[in-house]
Every structure is written in C-alpha cells, then in structure tokens.
Amino acid sequence: MKVAFQGRHGAYSESAAFHLFGKNAETIPLDTFEDLHKTVQSGAVNFGIIPMENSTAGSVLENYDLLLKYRLPIVGELKLQIDHCLIALKGEKIETLTKVISHPQALEQCSAFFDSHPKIEKKPFFDTAGSVERIARKQLRGVGGIASSFAAEHYGLEVLKKPLANFPGTNSTRFFAIQKEPAAIDENLHTKTSVAFMAKKNMPGALYICLGCFAKQNVDLIRIESRPKTGSPWEYVFYADLAGNPLQKNVESALQELREVAEVILLGSYAQGENKGEEF
C-alpha cells in the first residue's frame, strides 16, 4: 500500500499515515499539497494524507481549495497530538546550540523557549521534519531543529528537550485520508460526512436558509468554513462537516432540501477520527 504525504520523512503527516494504514505502508514524500492531489488522482498511490486543521494555528486553507478542485473522496480522519521536540546531533546540548531552524509555526509555538534562551537564534525553515533532515544530512553542529520524536528517531538524532511548546498537550492536527475512487458508505461505521455547498442565489438570508436545512432535520453541523469561489469575486463556497452519513434518513432529507437552494458536492463519508499520540 502506497500513501503520499507532503513534506519529508519524519513529518507529522507521515506519522498520521502510519496510524491510519499501519507501519507496513509505503510512504511517499512530496513537495506540495497540489503534487499530492495530482499523485492520488493519477493512481500512482493508494491514498493521500492531508492536514486540514490545527487546534492552535487554524485551518489549512489550501487543502480546502484543493478538495474542491480535484474532488478526491475523503475516506478517513485522524486527530494527531503534536509534541514538538528540540532535536540535534548526538553529543549536542542546549548550551552548545547557537541556532534553531524549523517551520515558522513551530518556532512561534515554542516562543517561550527562545525567550528563556535569548542567545539562540531562531531561523524559519520550510518544514519541521525537513529541518531535522538538513541537520542530519549536513551534520550541522551547534544547530537544532524543532520536530517530532518520530523525526529524531528516523534521522538518528537526539532529543534535547521534550515537550518544547508553550502549552504542551494542547496542540493537535486533524488529517484527512483521500483516495481516487469513492468508498462504499457503511451506515454504521461512517459517522461523519463532509460537503461543500454554494447558494444558487445571492440574497439576504441565503446562508441562513442553507443551514436551516440541517437544523430542521436535526442534523448536527460540526464545523463550517468559507472560502472564495474561484472565478467569482465576492462569492463563497462553504465547507461543512456533519454528524452521520447520507444513508441515514435525516441526513438524506437535509441534503435533499439543501440541493433545492444550493449546489452541493459530497466530499466523503468516513469514521470520525480518533485522537492519537506519536506512538504507534
């Protein structure tokens, strides 16, 4: 089984892939989220893993846009605990570090460490796992990276401090698994559904009418996100996660009613994601 993810080996996305598909999965690192969608669409891999939302940084908006562009069905969900670590070559200590590189969000989430170690420079890098890969490949002395203990293990480096984040235990990322073809819906297993919808007519109360379709049928609307509609300035697409699936009568009725007032795209039904740590 081949599973694509964006980033470098040791990334949190790769950890999510192993949680969802097992340690025997063959993981394929790619440079961009668009590359990932294209690779899944081509059939070169069985699945793709994409981060959708972080509990502290918010939504990964690019992936919402790509879900609509490529229409690859969502077939799984996972919530992964993000535990940032300070990582360096073996033999290093915090006192020997002069610089730490990582993704800007990771640096910001660990700002208290830099406040207490003002002599250590923080330098943005394109990727958390990529920072650790660079340290290992270049054998950079005096340089640390911020990533997962999974990344440290993968590259044979040492964890100098864990946890490192300002508020440990509060940082999680929600991932989707996508594939090329739709999966059959299991009425009992698939407890969550994602849809996109666009009101057919822009008028006062249009969104209220759309959301009322779920309320009238007693469908629990878990989350809603808006994004600009491509090619239509000042018009918007709404993404919604709801409890249940289209085989359930109330969900079927809500979606049928919604289709009367909006264009509706079913993005996928899947089992609600479990909360996982780094350990497999």
Catalytic residue among 18, 175, 176, 197: 175
- The H or E element spanning position 160 is strand 158-161
Over residues 44-102, the pLDDT tens digits come to 999 999 999 999 889 999 999 999 999 999 999 999 999 999 999 999 999 999 999 99
Catalytic residue among 18, 125, 128, 173: 173
Is residue 36 scored above 70 in pLDDT? yes
Average pLDDT, the chain: 96
Class of domain 192-267: alpha beta
39 tagged catalytic: no
Question: From CA 220, how far away is CA 223, in angstroms rounded?
Answer: 9
Domain boundaries defined on the chain: 2-81+171-178, 85-161, 192-267
pLDDT band at 280 (very low <50, low <70, confident <90, very high): low
* Residue 50 backbone dihedrals phi, psi, to 5 degrees: -130, 130
Distances (CA, A) of 95 to 115, 143, 234: 14, 11, 52
Looking at this protein, which amino acid is placed at residue 191? Answer: T
**Assigned fold of 2-81+171-178:** D-Maltodextrin-Binding Protein; domain 2 (3.40.190)
Q: What average pLDDT score do residues 130-145 get?
A: 98
Domains 2-81+171-178 and 85-161 share a fold: yes
173 tagged catalytic: yes
Q: What is the pLDDT of residue 57?
A: 86
- The residue that leads in pLDDT, 277 or 133, is 133
The whole model's pTM is what? Answer: 0.93
Answer left, alpha or beta for residue 143, where phi above 0 means left and psi between -120 and 50 means alpha. Answer: beta
Class of domain 85-161: alpha beta
